[in-house]
Structure 1
Amino acid sequence: MRALVPDAGPAYSGPAGESGEVLSIRGGRPLRGDVEVKGAKNLVTKAMVAALLGETPSVLRDVPDISDVQIVRSLLEVHGVRVEDGEGGSIHLDPSGAATAHFEEIDAYAGASRIPILFCGPLLHLLGEALIPDLGGCRIGDRPINFHMDALRAFGAVVDKSYEGIRITAPDGLHGAKIELPYPSVGATEQVLLTAVKAKGVTELRNAAIEPEIMDLIAVLQKMGAIISYEPNRVILIEGVDSLRGYDHRAIFDRNEAASWACAALATDGEIFVRGAKQQEMLTFLNVFRKAGGWFDVQEDGIRFRRDGALKPVMVETDVHPGFMTDWQQPLIVALTQAEGTSVVHETVYENRLGFTAALVQMGADIVVHPQGIDSPDRRVPRRSLEQAAVINGPTPLHAADVVVPDLRGGYSYVIAALAAEGESVVRNIGIIRRGYEKFLAKLDAVGADFDVIG
């Protein structure tokens, strides 16, 4: 690699979270080397919010240096929380000075993240009021906030909408509730957990999400003094308590990043050791990885990934945990363009997440997206009205192209496609990738990628 500017980390550059950086990538060579994954973006940012619930400071360990963490940090700081860096990638959070922030302050940082909505429960308990501006995030499909608002109303909150955003109050306090989610939404489950732990009485949440990051958030809250139990069939019971203390917690590893590097090894016919990856949380991914022709070796400190001969076509259905994660399908599709035969990926979580394949077609891939999905006797995940399906015929040699990063996982997938392709590609707007991938350029360099940063 010959980088014209250094890997600048997650430096926040505006509400869109986009840095404008451009990569020139020379592909056609296998990626080989070691990378390390730290705490999961989808846990760390939520655990940071949970610190608002404690009456004493909290310590969160293995925090990745990514822009989403910086955004949440800024949001906490405008609410008066003192956030300090510790040793070994830890952060210390002291909520003793928490105070109400203004819409303008919140909006200045909230545009690049959907995390502000999870401030609602903790702020209602702490300050009696929560302000939520218009929400941002990756443009991968409809992410309605009605699940969140309905849950907050069930707790007794009053939701008022204005031109500035949403103002939420709890004039009579928050009380336990019986809530059943229409869909096992991760965000709505987190909302209920962060609100119920200090609500008066017992909350019963049905059809809850049970992702490993949710279980790790429950572990954080239990350390703080919460009483939370998990029952069969996606039922979570939370007994409200009067007060919570701070926590000291090491975040679960980022299985999304681990799977991304595994797919990079598969797509480029390389070999990558992902330090910090663990088998248990990746069982579903590892099964599909093996079926597609991948080889892996689970070791004490990580997992090694590479191909095991020719790649094979697979049929994948994305689903909530313990199904195949929607975040895994995009980098996997890049590898499946090199499989010998026809693969089908059914996307059932977000309706626009297959839009990224248009750039892969531009690079020579044979991919047809079916906007209404595809019926199949082999389907196991219930069909949803929003689902789509991608049919990938391979192998098709990929060639260089000029592409623009559309979202976090799609952006990573474009980079891997460019590294697998022959010729010199240009990938624009890579700042989005830093929302979830720590030290991204340094890691690309560590696995032998040939690229320049040109803007």
Structure 2
Amino acid sequence: MSEHFLVTGGNRLEGEVLVGGAKNSVLKLMAAALLAEGTTVVTNCPDILDVPLMADVLRGLGCEVELEDSEVRITTPAEPKYHADFDAVKQFRASVCVLGPLVARCRRAVVALPGGDAIGSRPLDMHQSGLRLLGARSEIEHGCVVAEADDLHGANIRLVFPSVGATENILMAAVLARGETVIDNAAREPEIVDLCNMLNEMGAKVSGGGSSTLTIQGVRKLEPTTHRVIGDRIVAATWGVAASMTRGDVRVRGVNHKHLGLVLDKLRTAGAEVTPEVDGFRVIQRGRPKAVNFATLPYPGFPTDLQPMAIGLAAVAEGTSMITENVFESRFRFVEEMIRLGADARTDGHHAVIRGVPVLSSAPVWSSDIRAGAGLVLAGLVADGTTEVHDIFHIDRGYPRFVENLRGLGGVIERVGSE
């Protein structure tokens, strides 16, 4: 049996929604627990499928992992195992973030090439080149990333692109390396800052989080800590866009609105009233959204994870929008599904031109990744009739209590089984 959503359009979303911990942070924080012997506690964990998947990866490396409510307790042994096998890591991309901690702790790592969303090529060459500069040997062998080091030493590392994953792996390897490491053109995402903060709580010496240059003074040993995950800015923005698309009034809580500066500015350009609040923001859209152009870029630019939501907003906006995808080349697969729903859209290379229509038309559609799935549900909210959204396991990987939250805002959605 598989499951799909039935989404009935026509309702204005209104009310309040609480956002949990960030998916793009919690998995890396769990991996960081490998760096210290003892029990590390991560709180404000989102109730998503990827958390127990990462727990299984850590258990395979010799850790004891307990999941309870929004808390994860990870007890790391004195000598973790260094081989993360294919069965454990094949289901999600973030599993590769154990590479850096294993090289740092064990001086050796064998990590099967990860699976994850079908959004384009995401090679590991920057991860490997960074580890090599730190003194490790790294190759791809038999479908695995293999890294070994007799000793890790500081290095000056400049990334050719501010890759989040490469920044995280190199950072976590460098905290236990001898001497100073400088990572230039590092990723600046709030989730990177969250990881830096947790590492410093464990006894690391990392400075520059949130800037394009990270400086790490290596230490001999880290200690366990208790750390609270930051709020999920991508989930928060999804609800904000949903408010605009449905001409609704939604208060989003549990997130730092400063992490969404450009995104909220785009909603204002679309005609929404956006009010920052102490623990979130409020979006009110009183009429049909106006067309807005979007171009995805690394933080602090417009997030590629919100590109499907941008296309959904453009599809019902008044006027013509251009969406430019600069990060993942295959993310425009989403446009094909939007066309099923009656969107007036065409793509040319990494550009999509969307001419807004007043109402979309319901149809069966298929999710290709987490964000595409959420974007299709949002499109179903502004379509006539009932839209079937299939392959919803993707959505479960990134959006906790998705059905309950949407219903709480007045959306009409039902999870049903199918052969």
Q: Residues 107-186 of structure 1: matches in 2 within 5 Å?
A: 107-170=86-149, 172-186=150-164
Is the 8 Å Cα contact of residues 36 and 274 (structure 1) preserved in structure 2? yes
Partner of 1:378: none
Is the 8 Å Cα contact of residues 55 and 243 (structure 1) preserved in structure 2? no
Partner of 1:416: 378
Gapped regions of structure 1 (runs ≥ 5): 1-18, 372-387
Select 2:75's aligned residue among 91, 94, 118.
94
1:450 and 2:412 matched: yes
Partner of 1:3: none
How far apart in 2 are the matches of 1:452 and 1:280?
A: 33
Is the 8 Å Cα contact of residues 37 and 277 (structure 1) preserved in structure 2? yes
Deviation at 1:247, TM superposition (A): 1.6
Q: Deviations over 1:5-51 (max 9, x none)?
A: xxxxxxxxxxxxxx831112221222223221111111111011111
Q: Residues 268-417 of structure 1: matches in 2 within 5 Å?
A: 268-371=246-349, 388-417=350-379
Deviation at 1:120, TM superposition (A): 1.6
Deviation at 1:97, TM superposition (A): 5.5
Partner of 1:218: 196
Q: What amino acid does structure 2 have at the position aligned with 1:182?
A: V
| TM-score (normalised: structure 2) | 0.95
How far apart in 2 are the matches of 1:43 and 1:269?
A: 31
How far apart in 2 are the matches of 1:286 and 1:232?
A: 19
How far apart in 2 are the matches of 1:38 and 1:64?
A: 5
Q: Secondary structure, in 3 states, of the residue corresponding to 1:343?
A: strand
How far apart in 2 are the matches of 1:318 and 1:166?
A: 29
Q: Secondary structure, in 3 states, of the residue corresponding to 1:368?
A: strand
Select 2:2's aligned residue among 20, 24, 28.
20
| Aligned-pair identity (%) | 37
Distance 1:129 1:279, change over 3 A: same
Stretch of structure 1 that moved more, 139-148 or 271-280: 271-280
How far apart in 1 are the matches of 2:368 and 2:209?
A: 39
How far apart in 2 are the matches of 1:207 and 1:125?
A: 22
Is the 8 Å Cα contact of residues 43 and 213 (structure 1) preserved in structure 2? yes
Q: What amino acid does structure 1 have at the position aligned with 2:17?
A: V
1:81 and 2:75 matched: no
How far apart in 1 are the matches of 2:361 and 2:228?
A: 42
Deviation at 1:337, TM superposition (A): 1.4
Decide which structure has greater strand share. Answer: 2
Q: What number of residue pairs does the alignment pair up?
A: 417
How far apart in 1 are the matches of 2:88 and 2:221?
A: 29
How far apart in 2 are the matches of 1:275 and 1:328?
A: 18
Is the 8 Å Cα contact of residues 160 and 185 (structure 2) preserved in structure 1? yes
Is the 8 Å Cα contact of residues 83 and 111 (structure 2) preserved in structure 1? no
How far apart in 1 are the matches of 2:80 and 2:131?
A: 20
Q: Secondary structure, in 3 states, of the residue corresponding to 1:203?
A: strand
Deviation at 1:109, TM superposition (A): 2.3
Is the 8 Å Cα contact of residues 56 and 95 (structure 1) preserved in structure 2? yes
Is the 8 Å Cα contact of residues 159 and 184 (structure 2) preserved in structure 1? yes
Gapped regions of structure 2 (runs ≥ 5): none
| TM-score (normalised: structure 1) | 0.88
Quote the RMSD (CA, aligned, Å).
1.7
How far apart in 2 are the matches of 1:21 and 1:231?
A: 41
How far apart in 1 are the matches of 2:10 and 2:209?
A: 49
Runs of 4+ in 1 over 3 A off after TM superposition: none
Q: Deviations over 1:316-360 (max 9, x none)?
A: 211111111111221122112121111111111111112201111
Is the 8 Å Cα contact of residues 119 and 369 (structure 2) preserved in structure 1? yes
Is the 8 Å Cα contact of residues 23 and 46 (structure 2) preserved in structure 1? yes
Distance 1:58 1:392, change over 3 A: same
